[in-house]
Amino acid sequence: MQQKNTIRGLTFSCLVFVCLFMFGFTAPAEDVRMTYFPNGYIKTTTQYEHGKKNGVFKQFFENGKIQLLRSYKDDVLDGKSREYYPNGKLKEELVYEQGKVIHLRLYDEQGKLILSKY
C-alpha cells in the first residue's frame, strides 16, 4: 500500500513538472504591489506590467487620504502627476512626457494657484 502511494506521488510530481516545462512558468504579466503603514492602512500601490511600472502609482497619508498620484509607462513618468496637502487640497500638478516635465502648476494650502509654467 505504501509503495502504491509513493508511485502515485511521484507520478503526480512528474506530471506537474512536465506541465510547467511545456507551458512555461512565468510571473503574471500584470500585478499591483502594495505597501502598508504600521496601522494597516495602505501606504502605496504600484501597478506593474511585465516587471515595469505601468499605470498609476498611488501614495496615501497615514489617515488613508490620497497624497500622490503618478502615471508611469515602462518605468518612466508619463502623464499627469498630482500631489495633495493633508487637508485634501491640490498641492502640485505636473505633466510628464517620457520622464520630462512639460507643465507645472503649484498651489497654496487653500488651493490658490501660485505658479503655472509650461
* Three state DSSP letters for 10-76: HHHHHHHHHHHHHHCCCCCCEEEEEEECCCCCEEEEEEEECCEEEEEEEEECCCCCEEEEEEEECCE
pLDDT for the residue 80: 96
CA 108 to chain centre: 28
* pLDDT value of position 30: 86
Which mean pLDDT values do the consecutive 10-residue runs of the chain (118 residues) have? 45 44 55 95 96 96 96 97 97 97 97 95
- DSSP summary character for residue 85: -
